[in-house]
């Protein structure tokens, strides 16, 4: 319905709304203004024609707008090069966050992913440590996060600088500094009364005084089978009023016996593996925000990818000037903890047979053919299996595998590299058959899905018919 005041003909006809009916004073004003404008126009035209030709057509072709955003300068959130004490390198106008790892390599990748996701939620710059060799022998030494993953790419993708500890503090003989941190671990489980062990003292020279987090951090408080906490429960400890309400007497630090409340400039937590937004072990769910917003942007460094590509080329006999064909990778966990889960059954009974793998291969080929018009013919096996008979049986059916002994991988690159190269190969195909329960399979599968639009299938195991479907 129209507004009455506007639709009334009496108002529309009135002098107030008729610009042509000018008074003589207004007419004089209009004439003077027109004259002044004409003079200005003539002067401007005269100036333009004397100084340069008038442009009637655009000089440049129409280009898409340029992305003028300068590349993100990660180090801008530091005062300068690494200092003896980390505090001397932190900016007063910036807040930071850190945490530590303490499990197998893939779990540690996920833990750093959780830390960085928490950093994005709390608008704090994450500072991350190296990967430490929990399962590949202590003599392997540490490997920098930035030697495995492209940290500049990651920072660009998440729109936030990600720092490594060695960029903040001089770690050659780290000066021991006291700091207060929250222990999430003391809050979310009942088996251990101490904070989760960290390597902060050895690696970063941090002598930590822990404050146990409140029991409500645990997703199901007191439930001994699930030590998960929610991202936002942990985040709330960095804000008022949860912080003040949760402060209890801190525990003395190991070296100096310092008693410190959790640091507000550099927030720190002992362990962030068991963290989710909604569901425990959430990386298994497509909704996993840590995966979608952070960990999927952990891309291999160019160096690591090209080392792995070299292995693939030699394995599949692909010359340097030809593309590596799309292939299906299989990740077969057959040792250590997975063997223990077999409860004494022999491996042939417990782990998937070649025929079981073959069925999954055909399913993936069918799906990539239908969905992508690609029919991958090469199959590459990656495994922690050490028995040569099993590897012979794999090669006998025409599947490929990197030969880290013949390639002398450990001597050439170091002890980390068989597993790193295998992880890159697992995630660079168009399909992955993973081992149910393996986080290494899970992340590789997510990469295949999200980086290459490929297919990920986990295989069930434990008995010969476990994967029947």
The whole-angstrom separation of Cα 72 and Cα 157 is: 10
With beta carbons less than 8 A apart as the criterion, state whether 234 and 184 touch: yes
Contacts (CB under 6 A) with ligand GTP, residues 303-332: 331
Of residues 294, 440, 448, 455, which one binds ligand GTP by CB under 6 A?
440
User: DSSP string of 349-405?
Assistant: HHSPPHHHHHHHHHHHHHHHHHHHS----EEEEEE----HHHHHHHHHTT-B---TT
CB of 107: closest distance to Mg ion in angstroms? 6
CA angle 69, 71, 72 (to 5 degrees): 105
> Taking CB within 5 to 8 Å according to partner kind, which of Mg ion, ligand GTP, none is near residue 438?
ligand GTP
User: DSSP string of 83-123?
Assistant: BSSGGGGB-TT--EEEEE--S-HHHHHHHHHHHHHHHHHHT
The residues with which 459 forms a beta bridge, in sequence order, are: 435
Check residue 431 for interaction with Mg ion (CB under 5 A): no
The residues with which 229 forms a beta bridge, in sequence order, are: 218, 275
**Secondary structure letter of residue 94 according to DSSP:** -
Of residues 168, 419, 448, 459, which one binds ligand GTP by CB under 6 A?
419
Check residue 433 for interaction with ligand GTP (CB under 6 A): no
Candidates 264, 280, 369; CA nearest to 326 is: 369
For Mg ion, the closer CB: 379 or 419: 419
For ligand GTP, the closer CB: 125 or 312: 312
Candidates 458, 433, 461; CA nearest to 342 is: 461
Residue whose tokens read 């950093």:
119
For ligand GTP, the closer CB: 227 or 418: 418
For ligand GTP, the closer CB: 135 or 359: 135
> Taking CB within 5 to 8 Å according to partner kind, which of Mg ion, ligand GTP, none is near residue 207?
none
* Contacting range for ligand GTP; rule: CB under 6 A; set: 155-163, 269-277, 381-389, 391-399: 381-389
For ligand GTP, the closer CB: 111 or 155: 111
Contacts (CB under 6 A) with ligand GTP, residues 113-142: 135-136
The whole-angstrom separation of Cα 140 and Cα 417 is: 10
Of residues 418, 429, 431, 454, which one binds ligand GTP by CB under 6 A?
418
What pairing do the DSSP bridges indicate for beta strands 275-276 and 206-212? unpaired
Write down the number of H helices and E strands in the chain. 20, 12
For ligand GTP, the closer CB: 259 or 354: 354
Of residues 107, 132, 218, 236, which one binds ligand GTP by CB under 6 A?
107
Check residue 104 for interaction with Mg ion (CB under 5 A): yes
CB of 121: closest distance to ligand GTP in angstroms? 25
Residues at the interface with ligand GTP (CB under 6 A): 104-107, 135-136, 331, 333, 336, 382-384, 418-419, 422, 438-440
């Amino acid at each position: 319905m129209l507004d009455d005041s506007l639709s009334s003909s009496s108002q529309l006809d009135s002098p107030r709304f008729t610009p042509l009916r000018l008074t003589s004073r207004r007419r004089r004003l209009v004439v003077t203004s027109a004259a002044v404008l004409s003079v200005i126009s003539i002067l401007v035209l005269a100036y333009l024609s004397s100084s340069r030709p008038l442009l009637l057509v655009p000089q440049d072709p129409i280009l898409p707008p340029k992305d003028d955003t300068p590349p993100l300068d990660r180090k801008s959130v530091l005062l300068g090069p690494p200092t003896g004490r980390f505090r001397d390198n932190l900016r007063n106008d910036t807040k930071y966050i850190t945490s530590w790892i303490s499990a197998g390599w893939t779990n540690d990748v996920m833990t750093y992913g959780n830390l960085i996701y928490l950093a994005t939620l709390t608008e704090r710059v994450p500072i991350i440590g190296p990967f430490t060799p929990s399962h590949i022998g202590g003599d392997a030494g540490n490997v920098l996060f930035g030697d495995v993953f492209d940290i500049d790419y990651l920072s660009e993708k998440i729109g936030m600088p990600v720092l490594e500890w060695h960029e903040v503090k001089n770690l050659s003989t780290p000066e021991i500094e006291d700091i207060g941190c929250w222990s999430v671990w003391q809050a979310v489980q009942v088996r251990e009364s101490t904070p989760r062990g960290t390597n902060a003292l050895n690696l970063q020279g941090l002598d930590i005084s822990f404050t146990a987090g409140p029991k409500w951090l645990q997703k199901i408080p007191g439930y001994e089978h699930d030590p998960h906490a929610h991202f936002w429960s942990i985040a709330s400890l960095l804000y008022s009023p949860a912080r003040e309400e949760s402060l209890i007497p801190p525990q003395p630090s190991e070296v100096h016996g310092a008693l410190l409340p959790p640091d507000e400039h550099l927030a720190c937590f002992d362990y962030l593996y068991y963290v989710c937004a909604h569901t425990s072990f959430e990386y298994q769910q497509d909704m996993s925000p840590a995966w979608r917003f952070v960990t999927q942007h952990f891309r291999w460094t160019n160096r690591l990818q090209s080392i792995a590509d070299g292995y693939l080329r030699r394995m599949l006999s692909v010359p340097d000037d030809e593309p590596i064909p799309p292939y299906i990778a299989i990740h077969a966990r057959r040792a250590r903890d997975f063997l223990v889960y077999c409860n004494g059954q022999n491996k042939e009974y417990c782990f998937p047979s070649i025929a079981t793998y073959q069925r999954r291969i055909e399913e993936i080929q069918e799906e990539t053919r239908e969905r992508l018009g690609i029919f991958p013919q090469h199959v590459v096996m990656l495994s922690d299996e050490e028995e040569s008979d099993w590897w012979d049986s794999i090669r006998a059916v025409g599947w490929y595998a990197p030969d880290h002994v013949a390639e002398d991988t450990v001597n050439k690159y170091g002890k980390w590299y068989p597993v790193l190269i295998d992880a890159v190969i697992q995630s660079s195909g168009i399909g992955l058959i993973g081992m149910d329960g393996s986080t290494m399979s899970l992340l590789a599968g997510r990469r295949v899905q999200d980086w290459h639009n490929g297919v990920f299938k986990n295989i069930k195991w434990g008995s010969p018919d476990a994967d029947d479907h």
